[in-house]
Structure 1
Amino acid sequence: MKTVFMLGVLFVMSLAFASMVSAHGYVSNPESRSLLCSEGVNTDCGAVVYEPQSLEGPGNFPEAGVADGQIASAGGVFPKLDEQSETRWAQVPMSSGAFTFEWSLTAAHSTTSWDYYITKEGWDPNSPLERSDFELFCTYNDNGQRPDFTTTHDCEIPQREGYHVILAYWEVADTANAFYQVIDANFDGEFVEPGDPGDPEDPEEPVDTPEWNADSVYLAGDQVTYNGATYQAKWWTQGDTPGSSDAWELVDGDGTDSGNTDVLEWDANKAYSGGDQVLYNGTQYEAKWWTRGDTPGSSDVWVVVS
């Protein structure tokens, strides 16, 4: 009789445990910090690269929940995510106003609510994230319903400029836990690579490229402008007109060789960063910022190189 009782207790406990761990998900649009870790865009992330959906911690945020300084890691589950600075994480381009957030769930779970917070104006991007940094701007109540595996919410993002962090919070209904997903957003409209301050007030100094002079001697690698285009000498030359001589190659504004034979064909499933080059339908393009799935020649993210 005792053995039967113990087996019954273990069975109930196993059901409870299965219920607790059955709910997992991450924000797929815009791509969250943990998802960009799993995609290799963010680096030095720790084990979250294998399970970006598992940022589960105590619920009832912000009255309770995870501790300040551990919001991004859901209470220290993946502590690397709590490292915080203006240049630590890739920043996805976003705009204020109407936006549809998308969650990808690997296991659905009955849900209490979905909340969206954004850092306040004047927050310190170089200090650990605290609940006092955030303000609530969007809420959806599910009243215990089980969500779809792809769940979307239409929200209105407050006016922001520059780098801000959005906290997407999913509170489940039949456990005391919740899921935390932070999104690093750049409201200046461009993707910012990790380690790049992306400060629009401190642009990179432009390269001073001289106009071509028929009397000047140029060595391999020298660059000139001619008829509004920039050219680079392939070898020693004098008097050879750019655009009309094999001694010159057309280059982009950053001096990238447009004749690079190592450029690969564009892949719709691959993520590209600013400066990456691809071939598409016989034309070479360069990405102006981070992109994935945007077809060269049909999107402003790509510029023709040659």
Structure 2
Amino acid sequence: MNWKKAMTATVAISTCALLMSSTIWAHGYIEQPASRAYKGSNALGLNTNVGSAQYEPQSIEALKGYPSAGPTDGHIASGGVAGFGPLDDQTSTRWHKTDIKTGALKVQWKLTAQHATASWKYYITKQGWNPNEPLKRSTLQEIAVINDKGAKPAANVSHTINIPSDRSGYHVILGVWDISDTANAFYQVIDVNITGQGTGGTTPTTPTDPGQPSANAWSPSMIYVGGDTVSYDGKTYRAKWWTSGEMPGHSDVWELLAGLQ
């Protein structure tokens, strides 16, 4: 009967719309150093048996509010999201690791759908952690918070975080992208092998004091985050959020610091 055909068509259209919505709202992963999920994707294939991460490393979306809320202990790597459970497997040999050093580490996100952002938060496993136990809150130490205050980021977002000097060997870094206008966040873990001492450096968690600016000349090729200051055309500016290539004095991302002309 025609009504049966119409109902079948309606169900099919609804299913397609749901699948399309899931794809469209699949949002971001850490590509440098490559996250556990991204290393398991078809693009890299360095990790195996990763569930849905093989096709969607960007889709680990769960409630925000970590560490007081969000995914539970033992399910942090997967966000507790159905299909991503294999990412929670935790042994000293299970995952491919990226060699890094202590000190300054560049972390770069690839955003497949950009959202107004509340903050970016980073954690690392504590000295003496057990890599053969499930990942849990008590295992992780906060090392950086970058507040974006609702700004919409670019497709590629970079931060420089600081790896504590007392870490060595295998560790896990957790990156959390808190969305401003939804109840959710995106979770990514990175497996690293810390091989020695680096150059140091930290990511500022509060804006630079406008009364005592320290600014290098603006460069169109540099990446800046909220709180960074630059000099341009005889004036000093401070970045309100992540930016690259946007000229001071010609973009809302740059704030002219008071009293500097």
- TM-score (ref. length: structure 1): 0.55
> Rg bigger for which structure?
1
Cα deviation digits, residues 10-34 of structure 1 (max 9, x gap): xxxx9xx969963610001100000
Give me the whole-angstrom Cα distance separating, in 2, the residues matched to 1:64 and 1:20: 25
CA contact (8 A) 2:103 2:164 kept: yes
Give me the whole-angstrom Cα distance separating, in 1, the residues matched to 2:22 and 2:92: 38
Name the stretch that deviates more: 122-131 or 153-162.
153-162
Give the structure 1 partner of residue 132 of structure 2.
Answer: 126
Give me the whole-angstrom Cα distance separating, in 2, the residues matched to 1:26 and 1:151: 10
Give the structure 2 partner of residue 182 of structure 1.
Answer: 189
- Match among 24, 36, 45 for residue 40 of structure 1: 45
- Match among 66, 69, 80 for residue 64 of structure 1: 69
Give the counterpart letter for 1:127 in structure 2: E
Cα deviation digits, residues 181-227 of structure 1 (max 9, x gap): 000000027xxxxxxxxxxxxxxxxxxxxxxxxxxxxxxxxxxxxxx
The alignment-based identity, stated in percent, is: 49
Q: CA deviation at 1:46?
A: 1.4
Which of structure 1's runs of 4+ aligned residues deviate more than 6 A? 17-21
Look up the SS of the partner of 1:64 in the other structure.
Answer: coil
Decide whether aligned partners of structure 1 residues 65 and 18 sit closer, same or farther in structure 2, where only a CA change above 3 A counts. same
Give me the whole-angstrom Cα distance separating, in 2, the residues matched to 1:105 and 1:48: 15
Give the 5 Å matches for 1:85-124: 85-124=91-130
Give the counterpart letter for 1:27 in structure 2: I
Give the structure 1 partner of residue 171 of structure 2.
Answer: 164
Give me the whole-angstrom Cα distance separating, in 2, the residues matched to 1:20 and 1:28: 19
Give me the whole-angstrom Cα distance separating, in 1, the residues matched to 2:110 and 2:81: 22
Give me the whole-angstrom Cα distance separating, in 2, the residues matched to 1:173 and 1:23: 16
CA contact (8 A) 2:61 2:81 kept: no
Q: CA deviation at 1:47?
A: 1.9
Give the structure 1 partner of residue 148 of structure 2.
Answer: 142
Uncovered stretches (5+) of structure 2, i.e. residues with no partner: 1-16, 197-261
Cα deviation digits, residues 258-280 of structure 1 (max 9, x gap): xxxxxxxxxxxxxxxxxxxxxxx
Look up the SS of the partner of 2:40 in the other structure.
Answer: helix
Cα deviation digits, residues 127-159 of structure 1 (max 9, x gap): 110011000001100000000100011221112
- Match among 19, 29, 34 for residue 32 of structure 2: 29
Give me the whole-angstrom Cα distance separating, in 1, the residues matched to 2:192 and 2:22: 33
Look up the SS of the partner of 1:99 in the other structure.
Answer: strand
Q: CA deviation at 1:53?
A: 0.4
Look up the SS of the partner of 2:86 in the other structure.
Answer: helix
Q: For the aligned residues, what is the CA RMSD?
A: 2.0
Give the 5 Å matches for 1:288-303: none
Decide whether aligned partners of structure 1 residues 21 and 130 sit closer, same or farther in structure 2, where only a CA change above 3 A counts. farther
Look up the SS of the partner of 1:100 in the other structure.
Answer: strand
Uncovered stretches (5+) of structure 1, i.e. residues with no partner: 1-13, 190-306
CA contact (8 A) 2:26 2:56 kept: no
Give the counterpart letter for 1:124 in structure 2: N
Q: CA deviation at 1:40?
A: 1.0
Give me the whole-angstrom Cα distance separating, in 2, the residues matched to 1:76 and 1:95: 31
Give me the whole-angstrom Cα distance separating, in 1, the residues matched to 2:87 and 2:134: 10
Larger relative CO (CA 8 A, sep 6+): 1 or 2?
2
